[in-house]
Chains A and B, each alone.
Chain A
Amino acid sequence: MNTAGKALAEFIAEGTEIVESLSKDLLVLDQQRGLEPDPELINGIFRAAHSLKGLAALFGQERIAKLAHQSEDLLDRLRLGKLSLDDQVLDTLIESLDALQSLLAEASREEASDALGERVSTLGTRLADLGTVSAASDEDPLDRLELSEQVRAVFTEYEEHRLRENVRRGVALYRVRAAFDLSDFDTGLTELNARLKPLGEVVSTLPSSEPGGLSGIAFDLIFGARVSTEELTQKLEGTPAQLFALVTRPAAAPVTPRAPAAPPVPPAEAGSTPVRKTAKRKPRTPKAPAPQTPPDEPLAAASSTMPTLRALEAVSSGEASSSSPVRTLVQESPTPRGTRSEGESARSLTQTVRVDIRRLDALMNTVGELLLIKANLQRMVENVRLDAGVSLSKVWGQELSRETRQLERKLDALQEGLLEARMVPVGQVFDRLARLVRRIAREVGKEIDFIIGGGDVELDKLIVEELSDPLMHIIRNAIDHGAESPEARQAVGKPRRARISLHAEQKGNHVVIEVSDDGAGIDELGVRELALRKGLITDAQAREMSRRELLNLIFLPGFSTASSVSELSGRGVGLDVVKNNIGNLSGIIDVWSERGQGTAFHLTLPVTLAIIRALVVGVSGRTYAVPLNSVLEILSVKPSEIRTVERREVLDVRGTTLPLMRLARVFGHPESHPERHFVVVAGLAQERLGIAVDELQGQQDIVVKSLGGRLQGVRGISGAADLANRRTVLVLDVGALLEEGMSTERRRA
């Protein structure tokens, strides 16, 4: 990749990350519609927009920078309370987010379409026009607060706004004074903040004018408490914090005239800017500004460093004052100041290292090769042990065997590490889908609660990426066909809002993702009707089919519920494609539905595709590998034990009938007639199938390689792997074989 391409890729990666975090926060806001928005959340979104702006400007992505800037402006007004968060504002923000995502996508293709350009400029205008709302009341609630002018002078515009909000809502305000030793004040302060955080809002953190001891520093935290004084006192037990209540005069009794707005940029700002970047995410305080407030009055130190919690005492405005113009930047205290300076935030917002999946793939290959070496070594050991009668060779063999074990341990660790590096939470996809749901629901005028669960379940990155399209499709279907209109729901006694839930859960080596809705459900008789009409099944088959089998017809190619094709879900992609996509991931999809109750799709997926443990089996002199995670058990069966039910071979396994498939027959290999068969019982989701093979050759870790574009259509084979003896073996696609076994059942029935 050339330098420019690399830079672009970097920008796209980072930009996407920011947009994703934006999206996450916006979603929360969306869910809390109508509630008082969490100021921290708005701040987070504001910061993300700002970061994106800086980043885009740095990489010369004008369009993104401009839109991000416009969004940032709006968010800034929101943050400062100059604008209230109504539906219109929120919608515009979400639309901007979508536009930003489209812009990123175009940038990655190095395009700049006019259509999108127009959309962006319209959005820009809307962003700018929104809200000259939030009428400033004639009386400033802040004036009711007993706080000295000096203190007020150092507040940033944002802090002032937050304080005003707190006063207006009648929140009990406190000045929390705490002194720390200079050497570790950052940890102390962080700890204090962490304690205060759940109890209320830390509006501002100011270095105290009071000295903090010989080598100490004291801080005044302006704190709006959500809990009672008693609880606050109790929670602060053991910290060097002292509590002073800030007196708020009753409304309509302004005493002090409103102070002129404080200049938002204190002088100390410039130097500490780079530090704050790290402070934004990490809950720790930067060390840099420490020496800025040396204690002036060492003599008074003893009292203020005392780690006791003094009872509350109301303080007059004079006492509360802080004359120090120097401000220390503390973790969560959201400061709008630096945000005005351009281009400062090209630094990453996250502490995760992004790794190009191709690099991981290369590493994976290396591990694969190492595994081969290991197996070769093992074979050598075996040979020596068998052949040599000489004692010297025995020693050599032992040594070699020890080395092999060592190698094996190292390899295990390496493999595990690599697999972990590939794992990402499925939540990444879920969040993106949540936004989609929101948009679609608005478009079709349905009221939908979208519930996400298990977003922290981890899957191979590749699988997560590949999941997004199938999931999107299923969810579109759920919104479009599943969920009824609010009126229709009310008519049948359901709540107006439909529920669509997306839930992931780890079950052993598999992850099960469930997409369910409480909508109208699938009419299996309608499905049967349609399948008959389209000639997908015969009358005889239809009569034999169970409800579940009927439902599963919706996955057949050519089955599109044409009667309900809409602009949204009828995009020429049927559920058969979804099924194929899932199949390509060695997964299986299943549907459950109850008329009037809803529909649920279950996607069962392997946790990783990269290295799997496989059972190596022999059939007619050929070797195949069966992924062990789909092997339930292995049976040894005499030919006489195989029965036929309606000319279909089955086995009786502990009282249940197991369909049997002879691999040699299915694959067209010459069939041998051994005295006993080995039957590999394979299962995915609730499907079971016995696969008859001639011999078992053991277990092995294999790196499964795709057969490539030209061979992808081969049914029953998911890929190939290299065994240690330079033999390439094919890996069975258990999902596809199960499917085939079932359809054989259907055909013969």
Chain B
Amino acid sequence: MPSLSALLDDFFYRPDEDVGPIQEVVAGTDESIEPAAEEVPEEYLAFRLEGEIYAVPIHGVREIVKVPPLTEVPRAASNLLGVMYLRGEVLPVYDIKVKLRLADKAPLVAGPEAPPPPRGARIIVVQTADGLAGIWVDAVSEVVRLRPSMLELAPPGVGGGERDCVVGLGRRKQELFILLDIWQALS
């Protein structure tokens, strides 16, 4: 059996490697996109929270992971579900349902009394000013491409006040995506 490092080796960039073609391709795509700049669709990650569909710009999402065993942190803020290990880093996992008024209190998902997480549940990992943070979602649905013309401001009563983390709505035919400012939701 070839050693693991030999297998992995192919994935790494070597200084003597010829990357010219790749750069050309990259340059090419840039040019072809430029003319239609106004209608560039942006990719959003859509996920479910208590039956509603939310979406965040995908460039803000570092990764999506299955729910590992979470460790509860005593005396921490109520929206902190627990902490998890992700490749050598400890990151906090937050609930945003309370903030969005979808629930009265954060679900119990960490510690020995917590039930096993639902099959579809995922942690969305985002980069914040204080490092990586995870956000609990009930399920991840899809990656949607929304053009600027498909976006609208949040209707009055939805965007303001407590729910200021909702920045707008995205509409694709009959589907509605609630666009979220994830950093605001974490604050």
Contacts and interface: CB of A to CB of B under 8 A. Distances in A.
A720 B85 contact: yes
B74 interface: yes
A707 interface: yes
A710 B90 contact: no
B80 interface: yes
Interface in A704-744: 705-711, 714-717, 719-720, 722, 726-730
A715 B76 CA distance: 9
Contacts of A668: 74-75
Contact of B69 (A365, A670, A728): A728
A666 B68 CA distance: 26
B90 A706 contact: yes
Contacts of A670: 113
A396 interface: no
Max chain A C-beta neighbours (<10 A), residue from B68, B73, B75, B90: B90
Contacts of A369: 88
Interface string A672-690: 0000000000000000000
Contacts of B112: 620-622
Contact of B74 (A621, A669, A710, A728): A669
Nearest to A667: B74
B72 interface: yes
Nearest to A621: B112
Interface string B60-84: 0000000011111111100010011
Contact of B111 (A621, A666, A720, A729): A621
A368 interface: yes
Contact of A710 (B69, B70, B71, B133): B133
Contacts of B85: 720, 722, 726, 728
B131 interface: yes
A711 B72 CA distance: 12
Contact of B71 (A669, A716, A727): A727
A709 B74 contact: no
Contact of B92 (A708, A726, A729): A708
Contact of B83 (A669, A720, A726): A720
A670 B114 CA distance: 13
Contact of B90 (A667, A669, A719): A719
Contacts of A705: 88-90
Interface in B73-122: 73-76, 80, 83-85, 88-92, 111-113
Given A720-B90, A727-B69, A708 B75 contact: no
A166 to B, nearest CB: 58
Contacts of B113: 621, 670
B90 A709 contact: no
A119 B14 CA distance: 48
B184 interface: no
A357 to B, nearest CB: 16
Contact of A714 (B68, B69, B76, B133): B76
Contacts of B69: 726-728
A667 B73 CA distance: 9
B5 to A, nearest CB: 14
Interface residues of B, number: 27
Contacts of A666: 74
B90 A715 contact: no
A365 B87 CA distance: 9
B130 interface: yes
B141 interface: no
A710 B131 contact: yes
A730 B131 contact: no
A714 B70 CA distance: 17
A727 B71 CA distance: 8
A711 B80 contact: yes
A717 B73 contact: yes
Contact of A622 (B72, B128, B131, B132): B72
Contacts of B92: 707-708, 710-711
B91 to A, nearest CB: 7
Nearest to A719: B90
A286 to B, nearest CB: 36
A674 to B, nearest CB: 15
A729 to B, nearest CB: 7
Given A705-B90, A719-B90, A726-B68, A711 B83 contact: yes
A719 B70 CA distance: 15
A667 B74 CA distance: 5
Nearest to B69: A727
Given A621-B112, A622-B112, A711-B92, A667 B83 contact: no
Given A668-B75, A710-B92, A728 B83 contact: yes
A714 B75 contact: yes
Nearest to A369: B88
A710 B130 contact: yes
Max chain B C-beta neighbours (<10 A), residue from A622, A667, A706: A622
A189 B130 CA distance: 60
B128 A710 contact: yes
Nearest to A666: B74
Given A667-B75, A714-B73, A708 B130 contact: yes
B162 to A, nearest CB: 21
Interface string A586-627: 000000000000000000000000000000000011100000
A717 B90 CA distance: 13
Contacts of A708: 90-92, 130-132
A711 B83 CA distance: 10
A717 B69 CA distance: 19
Max chain A C-beta neighbours (<10 A), residue from B83, B129, B132, B133: B83
A730 B133 contact: no
A620 B112 CA distance: 8
Max chain B C-beta neighbours (<10 A), residue from A368, A706, A728: A728
B11 to A, nearest CB: 18
B89 A711 contact: no
A719 B88 CA distance: 13
B71 A717 contact: no
B118 to A, nearest CB: 19
A44 B37 CA distance: 64
Contacts of B75: 667-668, 714-716
Contacts of B88: 365, 368-369, 705, 722
A707 B74 contact: no
Contacts of A667: 74-75
Nearest to B71: A728
Interface of B: 68-76, 80, 83-85, 88-92, 111-113, 128-133
Ranked nearest first, the 4 interchain pairs of A and B with the lowest CB-CB distance are A621-B112, A709-B130, A667-B74, A720-B90
26 contacts: A365-B88, A368-B88, A369-B88, A622-B112, A667-B75, A670-B113, A705-B89, A707-B73, A708-B90, A708-B130, A708-B131, A710-B128, A710-B130, A710-B133, A711-B80, A716-B74, A719-B90, A722-B85, A722-B88, A726-B68, A728-B83, A728-B84, A728-B85, A730-B71, A730-B74, A730-B83
Given A708-B91, A730-B74, 4 more contacts: A707-B92, A717-B73, A730-B71, A730-B83
